[in-house]
């Protein structure tokens, strides 16, 4: 699964970078370079080769006279056109900062979203449930950049509570970007928890537990919540992958030194190796997160693990 996803992502991004009008050779040399130097730089960078040749070189590598040995499948993306730094070095220096935001945003979304969803499911169609539903719809529909600007306007400019510029070493400065990034995920997780809990609470085994006289809290949290969490885990995993890629605007607005800011700067400068490296890294991370979510299913619901084991035994028996 990883290789097809990676090939599809790299092909689309590489194609978009190929058809854009700006020229990496001109970016490297500057506007005052002579035509001869410009022509030689294009030749050295391999920009005169056909598209399929350039894409093949990006995937499988070749001995680059300026930027070193490049090749995605060899674990080497060469160096940045602009800064001449090693691509993976730039990514691994900035990704932990993005990870801090993503983990903080997902944690906030889970801590608030799951309890609110459970409460709404236990009081369906009540006034409180309607209020939470409206708030969830608003949170899911508001653009990230608009939320960020509103929070900065209120809490930074007027109230002077939180700084408008974020720093990974200053927890207070992370509050606004984490809230900005978490609102959409919070709304989605809350709605998914509510829907899943409502469905589970109508099952026969829940009715049986109530008939036996079990306490409602035990019915909800011991028998209902465990099964209701399965789709929530799926959504949370997808949201976490989305937060890693969706932090681009948030990081740029709050001047946060993460992978998103690196990607935006690379797009402005048409730094193709940096763009491709960052996008590939996010795609790989997203795929690995989905794999981790699938593994987590077995711990949440043992029936999934036992079903997989039974199928595996049947396959071996047929062989």
* pLDDT tens digits for range 305-317: 555 455 444 445 5
* pLDDT tens digits for range 207-241: 787 787 777 777 777 777 777 888 888 888 888 88
Domain membership flag for residue 81? no
Q: CA 20 to CA 304: how far, in whole Å? A: 47
How many domains would you assign to the chain? 2
Q: Average pLDDT of 75-104?
A: 86
For residue 71, list its beta bridge partners. Answer: 76
Q: What is the pLDDT of residue 109?
A: 94
Is residue 32 helix, strand or coil? coil
Claim to verify: residue 109 and residue 60 sit in the same structural domain: no
Q: CA 93 to CA 102: how far, in whole Å? A: 16
Domain membership flag for residue 134? yes
Q: Average pLDDT of 108-133?
A: 90
* Full residue range of the structural domain in which residue 20 is found: 1-74
Lowest mean pLDDT of 57-71, 165-179, 198-212, 281-295, name the range.
57-71
Residue 9: partners with Cβ closer than 8 Å, 6 or more residues away: 279, 280, 283
Q: What is the pLDDT of residue 114?
A: 92
Claim to verify: residue 36 and residue 161 sit in the same structural domain: no
Is residue 68 helix, strand or coil? strand
Claim to verify: residue 44 and residue 116 sit in the same structural domain: no
Statement: residue 138 has pLDDT above 90: no
Claim to verify: residue 69 and residue 162 sit in the same structural domain: no
Domain membership flag for residue 151? yes
Claim to verify: residue 101 and residue 52 sit in the same structural domain: no
Domain end position, chosen among 48, 74, 100: 74
| Spatial CA neighbour of 177 closest among 246, 233, 232, 75 | 246
Q: What is the pLDDT of residue 170?
A: 87
Q: 303 pLDDT band (50/70/90 cuts)?
A: low
Q: CA 116 to CA 36: how far, in whole Å? A: 66
Q: Average pLDDT of 88-117?
A: 91
Claim to verify: residue 58 and residue 178 sit in the same structural domain: no
Claim to verify: residue 235 and residue 261 sit in the same structural domain: yes
Claim to verify: residue 201 and residue 254 sit in the same structural domain: yes
Claim to verify: residue 57 and residue 141 sit in the same structural domain: no
Residue 58: partners with Cβ closer than 8 Å, 6 or more residues away: 10, 14, 70, 71, 72, 276
pLDDT: which is higher, 65 or 184: 184
Lowest mean pLDDT of 178-187, 200-209, 255-264, name the range.
200-209
Mean pLDDT of the chain: 82
CATH of the domain at 94: 1.10.3720.10
* DSSP conformation class of 75: T
Q: What is the pLDDT of residue 312?
A: 47
Claim to verify: residue 104 and residue 34 sit in the same structural domain: no
Statement: residue 102 has pLDDT above 80: yes
Statement: residue 319 has pLDDT above 70: no
* DSSP conformation class of 256: -
pTM, entire model: 0.80
* pLDDT tens digits for range 29-71: 777 888 888 888 888 777 888 888 888 888 877 665 555 556 7
Is residue 63 helix, strand or coil? strand
pLDDT: which is higher, 184 or 308: 184
Laid out side by side, the sheet with 62-64 consists of: 62-64, 68-71, 76-77
């Amino acid at each position: 699964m990883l290789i097809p996803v990676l090939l599809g992502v790299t092909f689309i991004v590489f194609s978009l970078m190929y058809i854009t009008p700006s020229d990496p050779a001109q970016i490297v040399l500057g506007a005052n370079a002579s035509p001869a130097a410009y022509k030689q730089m294009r030749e050295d960078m391999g920009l005169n080769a056909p598209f399929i040749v350039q894409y093949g070189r990006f995937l499988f590598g070749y001995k680059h006279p300026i930027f070193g040995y490049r090749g995605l499948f060899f674990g080497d993306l060469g160096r940045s056109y602009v800064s001449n730094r090693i691509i993976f070095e730039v990514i691994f220096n900035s990704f932990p900062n993005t990870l801090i935001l993503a983990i903080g945003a997902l944690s906030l979304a889970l801590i608030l979203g799951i309890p609110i969803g459970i409460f709404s499911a236990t009081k369906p169609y009540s006034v409180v449930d309607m209020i939470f539903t409206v708030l969830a719809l608003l949170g899911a529909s508001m653009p990230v950049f608009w939320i960020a600007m509103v929070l900065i306007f209120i809490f930074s400019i007027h109230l002077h509570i939180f700084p408008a510029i974020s720093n990974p070493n200053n927890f207070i400065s992370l509050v606004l970007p984490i809230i900005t990034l978490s609102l959409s995920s919070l709304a989605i997780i809350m709605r998914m928890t509510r829907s899943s809990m409502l469905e589970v609470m109508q099952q026969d085994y829940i009715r049986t537990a109530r008939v036996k006289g079990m306490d409602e809290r035990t019915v909800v949290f011991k028998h209902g919540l465990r099964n209701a969490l399965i789709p929530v885990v799926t959504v949370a995993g997808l949201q976490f992958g989305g937060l890693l890629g969706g932090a681009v605007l948030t990081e740029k607005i709050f001047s946060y030194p993460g992978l998103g800011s690196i990607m935006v700067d690379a797009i402005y400068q048409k730094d193709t190796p940096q763009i491709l490296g960052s996008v590939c890294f996010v795609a790989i991370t997203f795929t690995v997160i989905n794999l981790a979510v699938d593994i987590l299913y077995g711990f949440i619901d043992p029936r999934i693990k036992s079903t997989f084991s039974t199928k595996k035994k049947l396959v071996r028996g047929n062989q």
